[in-house]
Structure 1
Amino acid sequence: MLVLDIDGTLLKSNFKIDRTTKEAIEYVKEKGVYVTLATGRNFPSAQKIAKALKLDSILITHNGAFVASSVDEPFYEQRMSAENVLKVVQILEKYDAHIRLLHERYSIGNQVQQKSQLVAKMTMGIGDPLFYPVTFTEQLSDHLKEKPMTVPKIDVQFFDNEERANAFKELTERIEEIRITSSTRCAFEIIDKSVSKAKALNILARHLGVSRKEIVAVGDYTNDLEMIHHAGLGVAMGNSPNELKHAADWVTRSNNQNGVSYMVREVFRKQMKLQIEEPLEY
């Protein structure tokens, strides 16, 4: 089983997938390897990437909070409660931050005055707006009081590092039921405390009858850390922070150097015959 993160892993910095990466994924699929995506992105956005790669797999999205091959029939989901969503938003509204509530069908964000590359990074790759509408409201907490929401994930981008640190401290001290991670696209990715990519991967692997030692997982940031630990072979991208590289079993090239296709060439092509006949001992 091959599990791939999207941003900073599959995608280059220009948000495109290289031809060699597509060919590498097609190669492992033809050899009987189950290939899926594990991402912080919303489900429609991840599904769009999956279609580009000709994958019809069950996808791990929203950092493990929404696992599905169809938005209508999730295989597994774990949402933040409406009460905690409101609490998080009320705290974040004290700070200069762009907040995005990521439902599996749509997104609601607060209006921000600043035009920033940070907000642009959050907006990139949200999926086709026709199928994943994004709306904005001036005061998110007022909206939630009128229309409570349970969501798989909340994305937050800050414009000041000190505000980010203060918000992290307040959120973690006041709301025990949440987990805060981050990715190359987003400063805060807030999910229910019970959620992680690693847990979702374990649930999916058991469903497919794949053992832990048969899993190769590839990621690039701290929201991939537990998944890298969990896999039989955890691979960090060359553009990963040192924390992830040290946790990984193997480090490939960066996303801009086609690290996924390089990993497939070095790991799968050289060892595929053995892996098919007998699961590898990593």
Structure 2
Amino acid sequence: MKAIKLAAMDIDGTLIGKNKILTGRTRKALTAAAAQGIHLVVASGRALQALPKDLIGIPGMEYVITSNGSSIFRLSDRKRIYAQDMMPDQVQKLLAFYKNYDCPMEAFICGVPYTSREYFERPGYFGAGPASVEYVRTTRQPVEDMRTFVEEHKNEIEGINFILRDMELKAVMRRQLETFDGLYVTSSVPRYLEISHGSVCKQSALAWLVQKLGILPEEVAAFGDGENDLEMIQYAGLGVAMGNAVSLLKQAADLIAPACDEDGAARVMEQLAEKRHIS
């Protein structure tokens, strides 16, 4: 196995647990890996503005893949160096679809997440735990009329989320959305149904960055726990699924780490910092 030169890491359920706290052990392991020359890259469904400051402030954290692969930002100057926004006609088709449903919607624009006021004010009603309630209220910009807002910004949408507490309704909506051409549909947590341009996923953005840096796929380690991490895990030379990961991710992974709440990612990163590969 080639030495690992880049680590791409999901956030929620991978680097931080339900309490939304980055542990000291994880911070130390990432810092040590960067000191050994390993490129650190966040790969998240979150928008840029919603990324934890203590995570992206770690020395050696260079790039962030956000909105499930719609964007790559260079952290040194917050410049968006890779962009795959939705097409205006795709956004309009989604808005037409949305007319049949009554659920909150989010839209990511240039790294900023906007959400329906009803979700901003009552995230717990839609399945957010106590820590996630605080996360929503400190990272989202509430909008009174998301339909009109999205229509007005249809030329700059990174991605759209529907927020659902009814899992049967989520399944119905997903089946319909998956019949639309040119869309990428995924779900990072149960209450989210996430839609992007069809060319988008964490893997496609990661592959672009890896090529830019002159790194081979087999020199990449990727860490994740959710469905939206699948393509990235399959792409990397070392695909690491957390112990708390969904089953399809564990099946695709080269290594199953301990759970996120057991500092599983940190344990693997400690080995990479020491030896640059996993025995």
2:110 maps to 1:109: no
Per the alignment, residue 92 of structure 1 pairs with 98
Quick one: which amino acid aligns to residue 69 of structure 1? R
Quick one: which amino acid aligns to residue 202 of structure 2? K
Matches within 5 A, 1:81-160: 81-112=87-118, 115-117=122-124, 118=126, 120=128, 125=135, 134-138=141-145, 140-146=146-152, 148-160=154-166
2:236 maps to 1:255: no
Deviation, 1:141, is 2.6
| 1:37/1:59 contact within 8 Å kept | yes
Per the alignment, residue 16 of structure 1 pairs with 21
Higher relative contact order (CA 8 A, sep 6+): 2
- In 2, distance between residues paired with 1:123 and 1:207? 37
- CA deviations 1:191-246 (Å, max 9, x no partner) are 10001111111110111111111101100101000000000000000110111001
Identical positions, percent: 26
Deviation, 1:186, is 4.5
- CA deviations 1:37-61 (Å, max 9, x no partner) are 0001001223735434234412111
| 1:37/1:46 contact within 8 Å kept | no
Say if 1:232 and 1:144 are closer, same or farther in 2 by CA, change over 3 A. Answer: closer
**Structure 2 unaligned residues grouped into runs of 5+:** 1-5
Tell me, what secondary structure is at the counterpart of 1:9? coil
Tell me, what secondary structure is at the counterpart of 1:26? helix
Per the alignment, residue 2 of structure 1 pairs with 7
In terms of mean alpha carbon deviation, does 160-169 or 198-207 score higher? 160-169
2:33 maps to 1:28: yes
Per the alignment, residue 85 of structure 2 pairs with 79
Per the alignment, residue 45 of structure 1 pairs with 50
CA RMSD of aligned residues (A): 2.6
- CA deviations 1:162-206 (Å, max 9, x no partner) are 211221122222x31211011037421111000111111111011
Q: 1:230 aligns with which of 235, 242, 245?
A: 235
- In 2, distance between residues paired with 1:106 and 1:204? 22
Deviation, 1:247, is 0.5
- In 2, distance between residues paired with 1:145 and 1:6? 30
**Alignment size in residue pairs:** 269
Say if 1:56 and 1:18 are closer, same or farther in 2 by CA, change over 3 A. Answer: closer
- In 2, distance between residues paired with 1:28 and 1:20? 12
Tell me, what secondary structure is at the counterpart of 1:8? coil
Tell me, what secondary structure is at the counterpart of 2:176? helix
- In 2, distance between residues paired with 1:143 and 1:58? 29
- In 2, distance between residues paired with 1:102 and 1:163? 23
Deviation, 1:2, is 1.0
Deviation, 1:124, is 5.1
2:171 maps to 1:165: yes
**Structure 1 unaligned residues grouped into runs of 5+:** none
Say if 1:96 and 1:195 are closer, same or farther in 2 by CA, change over 3 A. Answer: same
Tell me, what secondary structure is at the counterpart of 1:68? strand
- In 2, distance between residues paired with 1:75 and 1:204? 9
- In 2, distance between residues paired with 1:264 and 1:144? 40
| 2:108/2:160 contact within 8 Å kept | yes
- In 2, distance between residues paired with 1:165 and 1:76? 31
Structure 1 runs of 4+ with >6 Å offset? none
Q: 1:271 aligns with which of 259, 268, 275?
A: 275
In terms of mean alpha carbon deviation, does 103-112 or 120-129 score higher? 120-129
Per the alignment, residue 223 of structure 2 pairs with 218
Question: TM-score, normalised to structure 1's length?
Answer: 0.85
In terms of mean alpha carbon deviation, does 16-25 or 52-61 score higher? 52-61
Question: TM-score, normalised to structure 2's length?
Answer: 0.86
- In 1, distance between residues paired with 2:175 and 2:136? 28
Tell me, what secondary structure is at the counterpart of 1:108? strand
Deviation, 1:147, is 5.0
